[in-house]
Structure formats: structure tokens, C-alpha cells
């Protein structure tokens, strides 16, 4: 049984979350708390396996609570409960920076209890099981590195684009990678992070404030430029298309894939059709298998694939699926991925620093 502590200043939300979790035979709610201060006392008394934590609370808010939890419980999974607003998104990203494992959004005020229950169930249950399964795997010996799939013979093409996909744990993984890349990176970078609208824009703004590259949400029809990072907006698929010598971003609201929009598979397929094998693909921490099928045409064309390793991933679902399928050229800890990207791109040559100012 997975034991859960539910923390929220709203009695209605505490009851809703408790009822949803208690309906799962593998989960037991062992306590609730109306604010972070009481939650800290209950963590020590109850020793839960995982915590759901409201972002905005009186006495001690969610971000401050996460910071206190991480001082004594560095590996205890914490899932933030946020609102779909700019304030909620900003606070949630701050909580993830402070060490929260993941987040879910509170149900919209539709007046439908059935819809609210379904929203919480669909978002929360998979995350709880995935995060607790990860902690259980830490006690097991490391898995044997799967063999790589044979690659097409011949010399590899120079990298002309980098694509990155991430989900659970992705905001901090993306920040780690993107802020370590040089301003002279000679190719565009396209990013899919599984997040809702508002959140992706706030994420891009936060990373942009620290990065030497220009990081922003992609806009439909804008040209792909070196030294720029294009983040897929929440609830929009991002693709690339070619018009003569110009590659442009394309946004649309096509059907979800892997229950996601944006989806990595959608981006990866389009990148394979435009750039062929001249692509470096990077898949970071995340639940599920989004990106696995999209990697297949990229690998078949001769593209290279790097995935984050299990030890530094919050959840080794997306990168693990690619590694286990033999589609990864390298499985690296998060701290080494930016250097690997720079090394691969530099084979084409970095742009002189004097030209970088014209990109911004």
C-alpha cells in the first residue's frame, strides 16, 4: 500500500482528493493537513510514502513547505496542487525549483463533481504510482544497459537541429540543460514539455532569464533560427515545415497522442521529414512512452539520440522506453547532457560570438 498525506487549505479539496485516492486499492490516505506547518509535523509522525501539497496556503505556503521537506526528506515524492493561472503557474515552477517532484492542476470550477473527480483521478493516480515505483526501484541493482540498434553505415550528417522532450520532472531538467548551452549554439532547439497553457509560457520565461540562448514559446509560422529555443505551447502540437530554404514552426490542435498535446512523437516525426538524419534528439525525465515512436524515423535516417539516465530522472518512463528499445546512442546523467549536445553540434562549428547579438 502506498501511504499518502494530503495537504490543502480547502476542506472540499482535501475530501475530494482523499475520496479519489481511497478508491484505489493500492493507496491509503494516512492523514490530511490544512497548511504546511501542520504538514511538517505530520510527515515526521506518519512517515508517508508521498505527499500531495497545495501551492497557495496560509501559515506556510507550498513553496516554503517543499524547501523545509527537502532539508530532512530529500527523496520523499511531493506532488504540487496548482491552479491554471499565471500566479499558480509561477508558484508551481518555484516549487519544482525548490524540489517538488511533479504537479497537477486543480479541477476547473465547472460545478460538476463528476468532472472534478475524473480530473483529479486522471492526473494524480498515475503520478503517485510512477513516483513511488521509482523510489522502490532504488533498492534494486541497476538494470543492464540494453544493446543499441545497429545504425546505418556511412558518415553521420552534421547536426542542423536539436529536439528535446520531457514530462514529469522536466521543468528542472530543461533548466539544467538549456542554461548550460553556449550562446554560440549554431542550430535551433525545439522543445516539447508536457504542460498546460500558461505554464509553458511561464516556464519559457523563467529559463530565458537564466539562459544564454533565447527561450520562448513557439509562434505559428515563425522561422527557426540558430541560438533560439522554441517551446511548444500548452495544448498545441509543435511541428516544423520547410518553405524553400526556410524552416518554420507550425502549431495546431490536432488529436492528442499518448494522451498528450503537445506530444513529442508529433514533433519528432515532422523534424525527421524536414531534417532527416541531421538531428540530435534528447529525451529527458518523464512518464509514459511519448517520443519512442517518433525516435524511430529519426534513428532510421541516421540521427543521434541521447536520453537521461534512470538515477537522475524523476521518472524513467520516456527515456527508459527509448533506451530499452535500443534507440539511444547514449544514456547520460542530467549534468552531462548539455556538454554532449554542444559536442555534437560543434562538429558543424559554433557560430562566432560576434554574430550572436543579431539573434536576439
Strand 78-82 with 161-166, pairing: unpaired
Strand 228-231 with 214-217, pairing: parallel
3-state secondary structure of 320: helix
Q: Which phi and psi (to 5°) does residue 237 adopt? A: -75, 140
Query: What CA–CA distance (Å, rounded) separates 43 from 36?
Result: 10
Count other Cβ atoms within 10 Å, centred on residue 357.
8
Catalytic residue of the set 8, 90, 102, 290: 290
The DSSP result for 74-138, as a single string, is TT--EEEEE-SSHHHHHHHHHHHHHT--EEEEPPPS-S-HHHHHHHHHHHHHHHHHHHHHHHHHT
Name the residue among 103, 228, 247 with its Cα closest to residue 178.
Answer: 228
252 flagged as catalytic: no
Catalytic residue of the set 194, 237, 313, 329: 194
9 flagged as catalytic: no
Contact 285, 166 (CB under 8 A): yes
73 flagged as catalytic: no
Catalytic residue of the set 167, 211, 270, 313: 167
Catalytic residues: 167, 194, 290
Amino acid at each position: 500500500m502506498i501511504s499518502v498525506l494530503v495537504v490543502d487549505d480547502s476542506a472540499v479539496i482535501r475530501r475530494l482528493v482523499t475520496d479519489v485516492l481511497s478508491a484505489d486499492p493500492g493507496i491509503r490516505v494516512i492523514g490530511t493537513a490544512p497548511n504546511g506547518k501542520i504538514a511538517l509535523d505530520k510527515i515526521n509522525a506518519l512517515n508517508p510514502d508521498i505527499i500531495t501539497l497545495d501551492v497557495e496556503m496560509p501559515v506556510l505556503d507550498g513553496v516554503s513547505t517543499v524547501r523545509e521537506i527537502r532539508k530532512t526528506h530529500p527523496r520523499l515524492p511531493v506532488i504540487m496542487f496548482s491552479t491554471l493561472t499565471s500566479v499558480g503557474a509561477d508558484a508551481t515552477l518555484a516549487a519544482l525549483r525548490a524540489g517538488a517532484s511533479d504537479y497537477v492542476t486543480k479541477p476547473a470550477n465547472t460545478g460538476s463533481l463528476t468532472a472534478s473527480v475524473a480530473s483529479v483521478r486522471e492526473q494524480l493516480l498515475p503520478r503517485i504510482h510512477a513516483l513511488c515505483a521509482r523510489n522502490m526501484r532504488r533498492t534494486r541493482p541497476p538494470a543492464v544497459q540494453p544493446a543499441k540498434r545497429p545504425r546505418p553505415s556511412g558518415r553521420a550528417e552534421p547536426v542542423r537541429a536539436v529536439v528535446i522532450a520531457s514530462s514529469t520532472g522536466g521543468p528542472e531538467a530543461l533548466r539544467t540543460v538549456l542554461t548550460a548551452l553556449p550562446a554560440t549554439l549554431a542550430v535551433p532547439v525545439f522543445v516539447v514539455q508536457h504542460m498546460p497553457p500558461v505554464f509553458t509560457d511561464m516556464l519559457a520565461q523563467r529559463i530565458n532569464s537564466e539562459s544564454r540562448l533565447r527561450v520562448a514559446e513557439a509562434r505559428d509560422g515563425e522561422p527557426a533560427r540558430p541560438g533560439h529555443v522554441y517551446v511548444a505551447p500548452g495544448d498545441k502540437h509543435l511541428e516544423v515545415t520547410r518553405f524553400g530554404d526556410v524552416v518554420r514552426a507550425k502549431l495546431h490542435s490536432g488529436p492528442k497522442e499518448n494522451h498528450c498535446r503537445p506530444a513529442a512523437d508529433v514533433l519528432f516525426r515532422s523534424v525527421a521529414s524536414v531534417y532527416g538524419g541531421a538531428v540530435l534528439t534528447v529525451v529527458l525525465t518523464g512518464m509514459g512512452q511519448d517520443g519512442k515512436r517518433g525516435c524511430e524515423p529519426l534513428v532510421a535516417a541516421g540521427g543521434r539520440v541521447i536520453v537521461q539516465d534512470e538515477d537522475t530522472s524523476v521518472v524513467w518512463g520516456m527515456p527508459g522506453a527509448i533506451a530499452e528499445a535500443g534507440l539511444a546512442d547514449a544514456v547520460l546523467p542530467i549534468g552531462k547532457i548539455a556538454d554532449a549536445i554542444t559536442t555534437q553540434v560543434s562538429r558543424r562549428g559554433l557560430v562566432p560570438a560576434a554574430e550572436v547579438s543579431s539573434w536576439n
